[in-house]
Structure 1
Amino acid sequence: MTTTPRIAIIGAGPAGLLCARVLQLRGIEVTVYDADTAVDSRDPGGTLDLHADSGQIALEDAGLLAAFSELARPEGQAKSRLDQHGTVLSSFVPEEGDLAAPEIDRGQLRIMLDQHVRPATVRWGHKLLSATSLGGGQHRVEFANGHSATVDLLIGADGAWSRVRPLLSEAVPQYSGVSFLDVRFDEVDRRHPGIAALVGDGHVFANDGDGRAIIAQRNSEGRVRGYLGLRTELDWAASAGVDLADTASVRRYLLAEYAGWAPELLPLITDSDGEYVNRPIHTLPAPLTWRHRPGVTLIGDAAHLMSPFGGFGANLAMLDGAELARAIAEEPSTDAAITRYESVMLPRSGELAVQANQAIARFFAPGQAPAPDHEAEHRRYQEGAAAYRR
């Protein structure tokens, strides 16, 4: 980069923080804005598997593989798949030394990344209201707290409902036809031993081949997060007369929906230590592309929101951030950097978004879809990692 541009990243999730970290390692200043009041001000969600061919490459670029390894849970890669009667259809246990896709809690990852950008890099409590093109590649950003700034490079890392995306695309998230209800189990080994045994060190997936599923995953600190998945209308609760704020009302509805499921699976519905949180799954059209525009681009979910099946979203988000930061440091202008970055990111994310969206559709379609081959999956991650650096 021949001149020093004013760079703003909107969103302090894994994509935005990783991008900022790599930029700073390359001696480039950046400001990150986020609507949250602090890095840990809200429930960050469950656990992530960071793939050797994407998320881990980004962490290597950021000099954070060792820090990640201190928090990662390789044993969390274990997976089992059941039907609604509790019959085990398939299982996978990682071999000793398998680091293809270790797990880390989302909150731990975000805090780790925040700790490794310079102090005051992130401006917390800055909710973006508008982003406006001023011409010549410059943009003005205005925030709910009254702050505003003019920047030479605007990077939208602001997730599914990005306010930066409209500068590049008219695409908006679409409901996938599947909703998850988020549940949580604390001190699981002591208080919920049946659930602990069922989930083990990793994940358990159960579905009935008729649009209902239960997914549960081991997190750190003795916690299990669960997702009760339904193929249903977006307004299912209102249509069914269910008050989402009334735990007993939601539980009655779910027990009726999951009637006939194995008794050992039902505590994942009835015994949550928190409220049921409705999380409809939205996706962007895939593959999504846009015409290059000077001074603005997108990374992470803002660019390629996809279903969580396959675990590509956060991994691609971090790789996006690393690759964009490298391009900014190595190209002579921000325009050249954006062109280089988007020429690789758009086709890659488009292909994987299609796969992820097809995977969730198959899982919730009538009948039992074939279980993924996790051993082959891990080999692909490792082979992809080796090929990436050639």
Structure 2
Amino acid sequence: MATQRIAIIGGGPGGLMLARLLQRQGKCPVVLERDRHAEERPQGGSLDMHSETGQYAMERAGLREAFMAAARPEDQGDRLYNAEGELLFDRNEPTDDRPEIDRSVLRQILLNSLTPGTVLWGRRINRITHGKGGFVVGGDGWSEQFDAVVGADGAWSYVRPLLSDAVPLYEGVTLFELGFDVSRHPRVSKLTGNGKMLAVGDNRALITQRNGDGHIRGYAGVRLAESSAKEWASWSGENVRQALRDVFAGWAPELRDVIETGDFIGVRPLYALPIGHSWKNQTGLTLLGDAAHLMSPFSGEGVNLALADAVELADALTSTDDRSSVSQYERTICARATVAAEGAAQGLRSVFSFTGVEHVLEHYRARVHA
């Protein structure tokens, strides 16, 4: 018999997509989200949605029209600079079929599609135990019983340790996140162009990406020991900016504008699960998205894989033999994620190397001629 009451731990795009798809098939999922409301934390920057994964999931969810109304096909461009500020690659092709959408906008489309009350906000979980015929999920002052539990709770998943001993490992690179208002930062806007700008030097990189509503998100990426990354995270924004001035000393002035003028948002050390991560199937318990296959953002696959996972898991949970189907789902997503994770790791190593700009330029040129 197919599973009935399902707890989805985590209200990111993957978890919300799963809830949407299950509701369309007559199920009663409950999304348990630790945040007290949708705007409690920044949701990150712009996402490029791939046709075979992210866009396909929106189609399956009946949300293609809403997605296309909010997406920005005009912002698919790529620019590459070296540390001297020389523009090496500049391409903007709106027909590439990887339209951009802000993560916050995508999340709101998914939230709006759910039956009111599906997401229970402020539910920080501190226990998941086996109960009669299922699982008891609880936190301070509350508990509920479910037939199945899905961990869609990201990098530091509470659910993952119930299935796997794997833990995310530091990738050796930390991103420092910055925000820009286009009206106040016209030089950064000009540098960015239509889409994303990447400037690469010796084990360092600057990234800017156009978002919706006149905003740009920026990142300064540095190879840094994990202990140093944790130390920098305790500093004030101005102290971090001063450290970045030293790291990027000698770069072209127009590139250094990125660290000089942006509003400091936060320190983002990059972590990843071991490539090829998998787990032994357990009845009524599984993972999707970063909880299953966390990787660096240098493959552009993260949210797309999470949405694709949701499509396949919804089908598995509503099949007549859901245990066998979920086991097959797990094999499928782990195999797919292994390929993407290898690409992400290679992308990170290529950018943050002594010859990073040559590697990136070769990659961009190859993608044009693919």
Is contact 2:3–2:322 with CA below 8 Å preserved after alignment? Answer: no
Equivalent position of 1:161 in the other structure: 156
Is contact 1:73–1:103 with CA below 8 Å preserved after alignment? Answer: yes
Q: State the identity %.
A: 41
Is contact 1:173–1:285 with CA below 8 Å preserved after alignment? Answer: yes
* TM-score of the superposed pair, with normalisation by structure 2: 0.95
Between the aligned partners of 1:85 and 1:377, the Cα distance in structure 2 is 24
Between the aligned partners of 1:250 and 1:71, the Cα distance in structure 2 is 34
Q: Structure 1: 5+ residue runs without aligned partners?
A: 381-390
1:324 to 302, 313, 319: 313
- Secondary structure of 1:203 counterpart: strand
Is contact 1:182–1:279 with CA below 8 Å preserved after alignment? Answer: yes
2:347 to 359, 366, 374: 359
Is contact 2:205–2:221 with CA below 8 Å preserved after alignment? Answer: yes
The reply to whether residue 130 of structure 1 matches residue 120 of structure 2 is no
One-letter amino acid matched to 1:269: I
* TM-score of the superposed pair, with normalisation by structure 1: 0.90
Structure 1 residues 350 and 276: alpha-carbon distance in aligned structure 2, compared to 1, 3 A threshold: same
Between the aligned partners of 2:165 and 2:237, the Cα distance in structure 1 is 38
- Secondary structure of 2:21 counterpart: helix
The reply to whether residue 102 of structure 1 matches residue 91 of structure 2 is no
Query: Deviation digits for residues 70-105 of structure 1, max 9, x if unmatched?
Result: 11011111011111111112222115xx15211000
1:245 deviates by: 4.1
Query: Deviation digits for residues 209-236 of structure 1, max 9, x if unmatched?
Result: x211100000011111101000111122
One-letter amino acid matched to 1:221: D
2:299 to 299, 310, 331: 310
Query: Deviation digits for residues 9-64 of structure 1, max 9, x if unmatched?
Result: 00010000000001111111111100011112211111100101110111111011
One-letter amino acid matched to 2:166: A
Query: Deviation digits for residues 279-336 of structure 1, max 9, x if unmatched?
Result: 000000011111111110000000000010121010000110111102222x213312
Is contact 2:3–2:147 with CA below 8 Å preserved after alignment? Answer: no
One-letter amino acid matched to 1:337: S
Between the aligned partners of 1:168 and 1:243, the Cα distance in structure 2 is 31
Structure 1 residues 270 and 99: alpha-carbon distance in aligned structure 2, compared to 1, 3 A threshold: same
Structure 1 residues 323 and 375: alpha-carbon distance in aligned structure 2, compared to 1, 3 A threshold: farther
Between the aligned partners of 1:17 and 1:372, the Cα distance in structure 2 is 37
Greater mean alpha carbon deviation, residues 320-329 or residues 127-136: 127-136
Q: Structure 2: 5+ residue runs without aligned partners?
A: none
Is contact 1:244–1:250 with CA below 8 Å preserved after alignment? Answer: no
Between the aligned partners of 1:235 and 1:207, the Cα distance in structure 2 is 24
Give the CA RMSD over aligned residues. Answer: 1.9
Is contact 1:52–1:99 with CA below 8 Å preserved after alignment? Answer: no
1:133 deviates by: 3.4
1:379 deviates by: 9.2
Is contact 1:100–1:378 with CA below 8 Å preserved after alignment? Answer: no
For these two proteins, the number of residue pairs brought into alignment is 368
- Secondary structure of 1:289 counterpart: coil
2:325 to 337, 340, 355: 337
